[in-house]
Structures are given as structure tokens and as C-alpha cells.
């Protein structure tokens, strides 16, 4: 049984803050962003999830969705069946098999892989995967400067042409002190050693991507696009090049400089951007990452063009309103 993505959607908050706002207010900005997406006062990761899902299911018979998986590292509730909110908002059937994934930025690809397995357990035709995230940190920390917000969604089905899933390879190990959040806290933190964080990211993602290439008997040149998790741009691009990928393969999937670090959304949001321009026959590699640390590398082949979306990723980037740093702090409830 083959499983393919046949539809996808994305959502970016309307509000944005420029890097210049940080520099004007603080004298510096530790993130390599031009600007980033910011949730408004009436938004959270569930409202963003609903908007992305609506985009993905616009041309889908929602009565035939039998699986819903939801992912975020920053859900608005610590205990609740949050998939229920998405079911009600979209008008999905109540007899739906659900799964919720959190605790790290690896949750996005975990939810996608979970949906691949769960789809075999239901009679309905479709599975819906929704990933929405908005990492948070204290305003006084450098880590906070790069944190953005976004959501994306994918519809999967069996034995149908689309973006066919080809395989996965994972690598997981222990890296103490990297991007963690203790029980009862809302902000993430780490030990603040950039070289250590970069080493863990490089070793973990390289292991999963290299393992996938070996498993499938592929080489980097076999892929038209490669999309990696983006904590920043320089680290991601440098690692991709070390693994043998070219700038042409990397560039289309980069979202960090315009949206920020979108946590569990990061690699899959880049996939959405790639799919807007991908052509039939293209092979796409997606590498996720969760500090702590783990990575999952997924391989896809686009067998046929996916439906044209009403709003491309580029159009979403252009729909925005800039806010001041003071406004931003108010939204974060820091002042």
C-alpha cells in the first residue's frame, strides 16, 4: 500500500515584527531574521491549526477523513483532547481516530508518520495532519529573538497519485541542556552554548539524512529539494552543503528569515513552500529535528502535480502588518 499527500495548506499570522525593531529597542538582535510572524491577541496554536487545516481540506470531502493527527511544542492546554476543537471547527465526523504529538519540535514529522500508520486502521479514505507552533521564551533571552509562529496541514490518502511517501530513517540520542521546558513552565530555555547546540543539530540531522540515503540507495544529487529544520539559516545551509546538497536544492525550502523559528512546523512549512513550485518527478527530502536530540529524515516523490492553492506561500508572506517592539511585548504579556 502506498500513501501520498494529495493536498496541503499553510497559515501565517498577519502580524510581523522586523529585525530592525529589536535593534532599535535593544541595540542588537541575535536572530538572523529579516522579520518574523507573530500571533495576535486572539490567536494560539489551535486557531492557527484550524486555519491551515481549512486550507488543506478546501477541495476534500471531509466526510471521508478518518484520521486526524495534531502536533505542536506549545499547545494552549497541558491536558485536553485538543483534536476535538479541530474536529468541531472543521465539521469532521466524530468517529475519527486521533493522535496528539508534543514535547519537542520533532512532533511535526512524528504526527505525519503517525497518520501514515493510522490510515491503515480505518475504512475512510483520508488522514489529516495538522502542525502548528509558536515557540516561546522570556523576552530577556537571546533565544526569543528568532521565535516565530505558523501552521501547516496535509491530507494523506492510500494508493493515489500525489506526493508519495518513500521511506524514513531516524536517529535519537541524549544531548543534555538543549532547548527544554520544565513541567508547569511556558518558556523554553537552554544552557546558551551555541557551539554545543550546533554540534548536536549537525550530528543528529546528518545521521538521519545519511541513514535515509543509505537505506534507499540514493545520493544527494537524486533530490530536487531538501528541506531541513531551521533554528537559524547559517547552520542549516552549512550542514546541507556539508552533506553534499547544493544551494539550488536548499533555497526553496528556507523560511526562517521571513517567518522565524516555527518549532515543530519548521521543516514541514518549508515543504509547503517547496510544493508550490515542485514539478512531477521531483524527489524531496525532509529532515526534522528536536533538541534533546532526535531527527527524522523522510523521502517523498511527486508523482503528479498537486492542486493549485488559492493562496501560495509567497502570497501568505505578503499579507502582513508590521508592529512595534512595544506592541510585541504587550502581545507576549511581558509588559
pLDDT one-digit tens code per residue, 90-141: 999 999 999 999 999 999 999 999 999 999 999 999 999 999 999 999 999 9
Closest CA to 171 of 207, 214, 216: 207
How far CA 273 is from CA of 77, 152, 276, in Å, comes to 29, 10, 5
Three cell numbers written together for 150? 505558523
Cβ contacts of residue 1 below 8 Å, gap of 6+? 120, 158, 159
Q: Counting Cβ atoms within 10 Å, is residue 202 exposed (0-12), middle (13-18) or buried (19+)?
A: middle
CA angle 181, 183, 185 (to 5 degrees): 60
Instruction: Map out the domains of the chain with their CATH numbers.
Output: 3-161+308-331 (3.40.47.10), 163-302 (3.40.47.10)
pLDDT per position as a tens digit, 150-171? 999 999 999 999 999 999 999 9
Its pTM stands at 0.97
pLDDT per position as a tens digit, 266-302? 999 999 999 999 999 999 999 999 999 999 999 999 9
Closest CA to 240 of 201, 275, 290: 201
Amino acid at each position: 500500500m502506498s500513501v501520498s499527500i494529495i493536498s496541503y495548506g499553510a497559515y501565517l499570522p498577519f502580524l510581523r515584527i522586523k529585525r530592525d525593531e529589536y535593534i532599535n529597542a535593544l541595540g542588537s538582535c541575535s536572530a538572523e531574521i529579516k522579520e518574523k510572524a507573530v500571533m495576535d491577541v486572539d490567536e494560539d496554536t489551535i486557531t492557527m491549526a484550524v486555519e491551515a487545516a481549512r486550507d488543506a481540506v478546501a477541495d476534500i470531502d471531509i466526510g471521508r477523513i478518518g484520521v486526524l493527527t495534531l502536533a505542536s511544542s506549545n499547545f494552549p492546554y497541558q491536558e485536553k483532547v485538543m483534536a476535538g476543537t479541530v474536529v468541531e471547527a472543521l465539521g469532521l465526523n466524530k468517529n475519527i481516530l486521533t493522535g496528539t504529538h508534543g514535547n519537542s519540535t520533532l512532533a511535526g514529522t512524528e504526527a505525519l508518520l503517525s497518520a501514515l500508520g493510522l490510515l491503515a486502521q480505518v475504512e475512510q479514505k483520508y488522514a489529516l495532519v495538522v502542525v502548528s507552533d509558536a515557540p516561546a521564551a522570556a523576552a530577556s533571552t537571546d533565544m526569543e529573538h528568532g521565535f516565530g509562529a505558523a501552521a501547516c496541514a496535509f491530507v494523506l490518502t492510500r494508493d493515489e497519485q500525489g506526493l508519495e511517501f518513500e521511506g524514513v530513517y531516524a536517529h535519537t540520542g541524549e544531548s543534555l541542556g538543549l532547548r527544554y521546558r520544565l513541567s508547569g513552565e511556558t518558556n523554553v530555555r537552554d544552557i546558551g552554548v551555541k557551539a554545543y547546540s550546533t554540534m548536536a543539530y549537525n550530528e543528529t540531522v546528518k545521521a538521519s539524512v545519511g541513514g535515509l540515503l543509505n537505506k534507499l540507495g540514493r545520493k544527494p544529487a537524486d533530490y530536487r529539494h531538501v528541506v531541513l529544520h531551521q533554528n537559524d539559516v547559517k547552520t542549516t545551509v552549512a550542514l546541507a552543503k556539508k552533506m553534499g546538497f547544493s544551494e539550488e536544492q536548499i533555497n526553496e525550502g528556507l523560511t526562517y528569515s521571513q517567518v522565524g523559528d516555527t518549532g515543530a512546523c519548521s521543516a514541514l512549512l518549508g515543504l509547503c513552500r517547496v510544493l508550490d513550485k515542485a514539478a512531477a518527478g521531483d524527489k524531496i527530502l525532509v529532515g526534522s529535528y528536536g533538541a534533546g536530540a532526535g531527527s527524522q529524515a523522510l523521502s517523498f516523490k511527486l508523482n503528479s502535480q498537486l492542486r493549485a492553492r488559492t493562496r501560495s506561500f509567497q502570497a501568505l508572506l505578503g499579507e502582513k502588518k508590521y508592529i512595534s517592539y512595544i506592541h510585541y511585548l504587550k502581545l507576549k504579556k511581558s509588559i
